[in-house]
């Protein structure tokens, strides 16, 4: 019997207000009259931004949402209501991986080739990026270098628009702070996993660091909000143990972690070639296995089928491998053997994403006490008490 099916919590239901771009931008940014805004998208052929030719491709649903909801929404009402200027759209060539560095050039909808630094990062104060792959890490670096603010909303779909982007981010921030205060300065976190009746444990040393939150508000200095938001996260100082990982093709393998990095993958179910390919990558570029994030969801949201929202659901947790500089970590793109490997890849554990893998318990050591945070993808008493305060 698969215990994970029985332990999955019931679906959470919640009412959300209709999506409002004006409300979202006003809440997230508190923009000032005269702020200049633009929209960034990614395309296999960015020249198809000219005259919006990409809209002829029915497969580009993310980019269509960028056009219909963000670009048109700005021009039809939001820019006038908020006193914004600009409103242009630009496209860059798709990177092919999460948080890989962006190209230097792109294209405007009038067909012009543009220099993204000179024509976008230096000229706009608000940059809204709706893309296939996350651009949070590179845009965070550019924001701090050139002084703009922005939001990354990769993988946008209708579920996200109706829920994760329709919430009150003041409330999201308040709830995240309750959890952050009760989870900050943790010494370590341990996660138990069960796959096919076998138990594994991953231990992550946090060194008493200040817990951080992704809460959707970007109302101060230059920075990027990754939306939908609602997460408590750490950059682990060290990690060791084992955990099962589900690949995109459904293959499940056991990750062995030593000295903070995945050093080997071993097939548990599925395709050996998938595991062999991963092991070859770990051998040729070992930092690709470094665990650069531990995150916990803080919101009650519907499953969207996109990790960007589903990892924000309360009761889920994720670890991430690779690049961590945008989170305050040390792993920057130049430390990878190959530039194309300098990704930041979240590994989400949730009833919807990994039904084959149960997480019976997540424990945290803090202030001399061991607290249970999550049991079977459900917040335990300690976490529920923090939210009730």
**Residue 8 class from Cβ within 10 Å (0-12 exposed, 13-18 middle, 19+ buried)?**
middle
Rounded to whole angstroms, how far apart are CA atoms 56 and 54?
5
Secondary structure letter of residue 179 according to DSSP: H
Backbone angles phi, psi at 236, to 5 degrees: -60, 145
What are the residues whose beta carbons fall under 8 Å from the beta carbon of 140, sequence distance 6 or more?
223, 224, 326
CA torsion 375-381-384-386 (nearest 10°) is -120
| Tokens linked to 99 | 């948080």
Residue located via tokens 């200040």: 210
**CA-based nearest residue to 310, from 376, 387, 372, 377:** 377
Kindly report, residue by residue over 137-193, the tens digit of the pLDDT. 999 999 999 999 999 999 999 999 999 999 999 999 999 999 999 999 999 999 999
Rounded to whole angstroms, how far apart are CA atoms 41 and 65?
10
Rounded to whole angstroms, how far apart are CA atoms 177 and 181?
6
For residue 174, is the peptide bond before it cis, meaning its omega torsion is within 30 degrees of 0? Answer: no
231-234 vs 212-214, strand pairing mode: antiparallel
In the chain, alpha helices (H): 3-7, 21-29, 61-65, 72-73, 79-82, 116, 136-146, 158-162, 169-183, 272-284, 307-310, 381-388
**CA-based nearest residue to 152, from 85, 64, 216:** 216
What are the residues whose beta carbons fall under 8 Å from the beta carbon of 78, sequence distance 6 or more?
21, 22, 25, 84
CATH topology for 21-162? Answer: Rossmann fold (3.40.50)
Q: What is the pLDDT of residue 93?
A: 98
Residue located via tokens 């531990």: 294
Contact between 78 and 29 under an 8 Å Cβ cutoff? The reply is no
Contact between 299 and 114 under an 8 Å Cβ cutoff? The reply is no
Secondary structure letter of residue 117 according to DSSP: I
Rounded to whole angstroms, how far apart are CA atoms 187 and 364?
8
Neighbour count for residue 20 (Cβ, 10 Å): 16
Sheet holding 317-322, edge to edge: 212-214, 231-234, 291-297, 317-322, 344-349
Residue located via tokens 């143990």: 241
Stretches in the chain below the pLDDT threshold 50: 1-12
Domain ranges of the chain: 21-162, 169-388
CA terminus-to-terminus distance, the chain:
39
How many residues in the chain? Answer: 389
**CA-based nearest residue to 323, from 117, 139, 176, 144:** 139
Residue located via tokens 């409330």: 171
The CA-based angle 22-61-140, given to 5 degrees, is: 60
Secondary structure letter of residue 313 according to DSSP: B
Q: What is the pLDDT of residue 13?
A: 62
């Amino acid at each position: 019997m698969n215990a994970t099916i029985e332990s999955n919590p019931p679906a959470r239901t919640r009412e959300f207000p209709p999506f409002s771009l004006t409300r979202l931008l006003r809440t997230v940014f508190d923009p000032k009259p005269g702020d200049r805004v633009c929209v960034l998208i990614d395309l296999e052929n960015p020249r198809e931004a000219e005259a919006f030719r990409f809209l002829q491709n029915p497969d580009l649903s993310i980019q269509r949402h960028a056009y219909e909801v963000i670009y048109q929404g700005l021009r039809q009402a939001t820019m006038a209501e908020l006193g914004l200027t600009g409103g242009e759209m630009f496209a860059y060539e798709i990177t092919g991986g999460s948080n890989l560095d962006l190209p230097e050039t792109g294209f405007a909808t009038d067909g012009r080739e543009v220099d993204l630094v000179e024509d976008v990062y230096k000229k706009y104060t608000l940059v809204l990026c709706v893309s296939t792959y996350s651009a949070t890490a590179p845009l965070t670096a550019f924001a701090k270098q050139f002084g703009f603010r922005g939001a990354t909303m990769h993988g946008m779909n209708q579920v996200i628009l109706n829920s994760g982007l329709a919430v009150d981010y003041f409330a999201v921030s308040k709830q995240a702070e309750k959890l952050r205060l009760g989870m900050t300065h943790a010494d370590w976190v341990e996660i138990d996993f069960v796959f096919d009746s076998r138990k594994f444990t991953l231990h992550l040393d946090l060194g008493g660091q200040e817990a951080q939150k992704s809460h959707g508000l970007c109302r101060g200095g230059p920075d990027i909000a990754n939306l939908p938001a609602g997460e408590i996260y750490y950059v682990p100082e060290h990690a060791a143990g084992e955990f099962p990982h589900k690949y995109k093709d459904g293959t499940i393998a056991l990750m062995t972690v030593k000295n903070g990095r995945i050093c080997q993958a071993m097939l548990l179910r599925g395709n050996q070639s998938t595991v062999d390919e991963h092991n070859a990558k770990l051998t040729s570029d070992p930092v690709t296995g470094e665990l650069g994030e531990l995150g916990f969801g803080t919101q009650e949201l519907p499953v969207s089928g996109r990790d960007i929202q589903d990892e924000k659901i309360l009761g889920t947790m994720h670890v991430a491998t690779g690049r961590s500089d945008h989170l305050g970590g040390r792993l920057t793109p130049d430390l990878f053997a190959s530039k194309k490997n300098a990704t930041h890849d979240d590994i989400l554990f949730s009833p919807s994403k990994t039904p084959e893998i149960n997480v019976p318990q997540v424990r945290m050591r803090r202030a001399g006490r061991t607290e249970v945070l999550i049991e079977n993808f459900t917040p335990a008493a300690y976490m529920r008490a923090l939210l009730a305060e």
